[in-house]
Structure 1
Amino acid sequence: MNGNEHDRDTLLATAVRLRVEGRAEEARRLLLALSTARPADAEVAYQTAWVHDVLGLEAEAVPFYERSLRGTGLSEEARRGALLGLGSTYRVLGRYDRAVEVLSGGVEEFPDDGALRTFLAMALFNTGEHDASARLLLELLAATSEDPSVRQYRSAIEHYARDLCATV
């Protein structure tokens, strides 16, 4: 690893540590400088987006999320986080159709990710797709709940999730 890569890794680790410690504004300043120096670095863009979200600067986070997803080199975990972050951020900004688009793509790419499916359900609700939203949440509940009473009725919940208008 050359000196520049070492510096990048050290600065990125410092910024993440600062964010985790609740020093998000310091992390933001460091990440903005790092992002300017390394505009094609997907991981730097992702961390920069994340810190903007932490600070409630959702509109400023969007271009960094988009840059991170266009780039290469994100780990699977970071890619999931970037898809979730961007979709959630679009939803918070009232860009519901775009949120559904991003989160649907995330669910296609990571079908077992319950968080992506949950945020997609919220975005679907915001677009007026109430049946699709409830269906997604019921399927997730049936598949993941450890509640004994939910598990007892799992097949019925799955059945009604497929057809919310069905009756006994």
Structure 2
Amino acid sequence: MTPHQDRESLLAEAVALRTADRTEEARQRLLALAGRFPEDAEIAYQTAWAHDRLGLEAEAVPYYERALAGQLTAADRRGALLGLGSTFRVLGRYEVAVRTLRSGTAEFPADGALKTFLAMALFNVGEHHEPMQLLLALLVDSSDDEGVQQYRAAIAYYAKDLTEMV
């Protein structure tokens, strides 16, 4: 087995363990892989994710940063930006969370999860207007709720500026 095949199979096993809620086992395997392949962005991302799932947010940060410095698929990059921004928020590093999540929404403007986490981080730094705009626009764009759909135009209008009165 070549080193690449070995990496692929070991990574697949670790991801399968995490998916099966055997996260601590997955974390241990991913830490070993990250030690063997320190420049591998995908391994770093999976290692960060395992730490996050275990509530080890501070330990996840350097792995997210390593992942984002490397080459990731678009889906993994989106996940890493969301994970890192959310992790910074959980750690009380709100301004860094806002910057990270803004970067994510700039790169992935259609992603509702990034917008939602950005709204939460903005709230944490004392912003209220922009988070409401983000969440109301997201609600209009994604809700199947009959009442929301009935008032879709009004909600969309007010999402632009809640202080405006007609």
**Would you say same fold, with TM above 0.5?**
yes
| Aligned-residue offset at 1:161 | 1.1
**What CA distance in whole angstroms lies between the structure 2 residues aligned with 1:62 and 1:33?**
17
SS of match in other structure, 1:166:
coil
Give the TM-score taking structure 1 as reference length. 0.97
Matched with 1:134 is 132
Give the TM-score taking structure 2 as reference length. 0.98
**What CA distance in whole angstroms lies between the structure 2 residues aligned with 1:150 and 1:8?**
48
**What CA distance in whole angstroms lies between the structure 2 residues aligned with 1:155 and 1:70?**
41
Matched with 2:65 is 66
**What CA distance in whole angstroms lies between the structure 2 residues aligned with 1:88 and 1:26?**
23
| Aligned-residue offset at 1:49 | 0.1
Matched with 2:80 is 82
- Count matched residues: 166
Identity %: 62
Gaps of 5+ in 2: none
Matched with 1:56 is 55
SS of match in other structure, 2:21:
coil
Q: Is residue 2:3 matched to residue 1:4?
A: yes
Structure 1 segments of 4+ aligned residues over 6 angstroms from their partners: none
Matched with 2:110 is 112
Matched with 1:162 is 160
Gaps of 5+ in 1: none
**What CA distance in whole angstroms lies between the structure 2 residues aligned with 1:143 and 1:19?**
32
1:102 paired residue among 83, 100, 105: 100
Please tell me the residue identity of whatever aligns with 1:150. V
Calculate the aligned-residue CA RMSD, in Å.
Answer: 0.8
- Bigger drift between 37-46 and 147-156 goes to 147-156
